[in-house]
Amino acid sequence: MTTTVKTPSRAILRDSLISILLYTLPIGLMFLSFYISGSKPWLQASSEHLGFRAPAFVEAVFNNLKTWGLPAIMVVVGIVEFSVGFYENKWTKNERTLDIVCFILPKVVLRPMIAYFGLKLLPFILPDAKNIFAWVPFWWGFAIMAVADDLTQYWYHRLHHQLPLLWRFHRTHHSAPYMGMAMTSRQNIIYTAFFSQIYLTVALTYLGLGYPALFVGGIKSLITTAAHSSIKWDKPFYTIRWLNPIGWVMERLISTPATHHAHHADTSDDGVGYYKGNFGNMFFIWDLIFGTGIITRQYPAAYGLKHYKEEEWYAQLLWPIFKSKKEGSELAQNGPVVGGEEEEAPAPVVVQPVAAIVRAEAV
């Protein structure tokens, strides 16, 4: 698998300008709706609230997704995957240690620490801005947060594939020769520490969009976790006729096992794998807009890196602080950037902007 993809700077500039329009779209639509309705909610004294009546347990579920809820779901599904042999003999001691540490460290230490210190620091940087946007109606706040969070992560993810300088910070996530709950959080610690949307979410929460951030974060966690699962839960939507219309919309809107597994394939030569694209996390629609996606409704035969040398778990977690001792590894001292392989010319975009090509039915 050739891991990084060269992209002309002109294409990145073009897509960046499109992104600016996408970031501002929900805000513009919100004010347009205010203009049409004649409402001016920013003039009303208000505090942050859901804006609709929701059962207490619904809010509790989304609150707990960021604490014990999502980890509990991942552990249960992971046990199911393991018990039916999805990991086969690929989950070695080294892989298991890496997956477990990457699962615990960000959730227990890193992300809570960033959120805590961020919310402590922001009052000094923006002393008069706390809850300044609390007047924003919940659903508009939800739309603004969903675009801001996921489009930012799309770019963070995409650039780590397309810029060789950044690739090795993301490589750990792609080294797993399997898909499943175990590797969902598998990332280099520096990649996680600079996860741009963490800071964005903290800032917008301080500004008064905490509830939208809570629900966006919960829904996104469920979608991205399900997309990494080795359980092909989306397959019935392609094989059962009356579910086909739902499947057609779903695979273009959000990440599914078929589209995201393609991103983790060890090759693109089979017409199914597409590690050069399918960068979307919660929303797959970004890949359609920017022409970086492919939809085949099939699943790769193999995952990971063809030049993977099973580097030590600590090197994958903490590179470049700790380097691998494996000769020829990208993570070794003075190691090659892309496993010693020559970069191939970028292939033509498979999915044209705002249009996906379904090249094969599910098998």
Express each pLDDT in 48-97 by its tens digit.
555 555 555 555 555 555 555 545 555 665 565 555 455 566 778 899 89
- Please report whether residue 33 resides in a domain: yes
What Rg value do the Cα atoms of the chain yield, rounded? 21
**What is the domain count for the chain?**
1
Question: Is 2 within the bounds of a domain?
Answer: no
Range of the structural domain that residue 175 is part of: 9-37+58-318
User: How far, in Å, CA of 46 to CA of 38, rounded?
Assistant: 18
| Cα distance from N-terminal residue to C-terminal residue, the chain | 24
Closest among 322, 300, 303, 304 to 313, alpha carbons compared? 322
**Does 350 fall in a domain?**
no
Q: What is the pLDDT of residue 76?
A: 60
- State whether residue 292 is helix, strand or coil: coil
In a domain, 352, yes or no: no
Q: Is the dihedral of CA 19, 223, 92, 297 positive or negative?
A: negative
CA distance 114 to 198: 8
Residue 150, domain member (yes or no)? yes
Residue 260 lies in a domain: yes
Q: Would you state the pLDDT for residue 163?
A: 87
Identify the burial level of 36 via C-beta atoms within 10 angstroms of its C-beta, where 0-12 means exposed, 13-18 middle and 19 or more buried.
exposed
pLDDT at 23: 95
Q: Name the DSSP letter for residue 135.
A: T
Which residues of the chain are under the pLDDT cut of 70?
A: 1-8, 45-89, 196-197, 338-363
The model's pTM: 0.82
pLDDT at 303: 93
Residue pair 329/309 in contact (Cβ under 8 Å)? The answer is: yes
Does residue 236 sit within a domain? yes
Give the three-state DSSP class for 78. Answer: helix
Could you read off the pLDDT of 303-356 as tens digits, one per residue?
A: 999 889 899 999 999 999 999 999 889 999 888 876 444 344 344 334 443 334
pLDDT of residue 128: 87
**Confidence (pLDDT) at 156:** 93
- The pair phi, psi for residue 207, each rounded to 5°, is -80, -5
Q: Is residue 354 part of a domain?
A: no
Q: What is the pLDDT of residue 169?
A: 93
